[in-house]
Amino acid sequence: MINKLPVSFIMRPGPFGEFVLFWADYEGQPKVCRVLLSKPGLPAEEAVKKQCPGKESSGCGEISKIADEIEAFLLGEDVSFSLDKIRFDTCTVFQQEVLRAEHGIPRGYVSTYKRIAGHLGRPTSARAVGTALATNPFPIIIPCHRAIRSDGRLGGYQGGLGMKRKLLEMEGVDIADTGCVSTLKYFY
């Protein structure tokens, strides 16, 4: 979807590698179109060079502020992100519902794909919830690292399982040596 929009991007360093905010003016305001995290084997900088060859990083005050907030979050600060600066219209209605539910999970808590599906009144849609979160265009702003599998295992994450584990641990979520969440702080 990014390739179809006239977008700019801002790249920042972070403790898990660079991250990128793709953004564009939408209805007269700068809005985030996508957050791209570095992942094992594919730094965000390389991905941007492939998606936007020859384009230079550029920001504006509002987008730079969001990048600052993401940087602070990745360093362990308790940051609450507003949803008014993201392009939800690039997501399906179902994905928007899932992302809003995920955004509602507080720091230090986790939920499961099944619990989120139940919260949305779609108790048989756990797999669809997982897919909606796997393709979350706004990781960190929408804290999809807080969704885990029903068996307590971490599940997937765009920035890799190591990053997901560290983010959860920074938020005070206990994870056993087996890789399963051992907290009793479930949301929904």
Q: Which residues are catalytic?
A: 144
Residue at 58: amino acid letter: S
CA distance 12 to 17: 9
DSSP three-state, residue 15: strand
Structure tokens at 96: 């928007």
H/E element, 99: helix 93-103
Is-contact 62 85, C-beta < 8 A?
yes
DSSP three-state, residue 21: strand
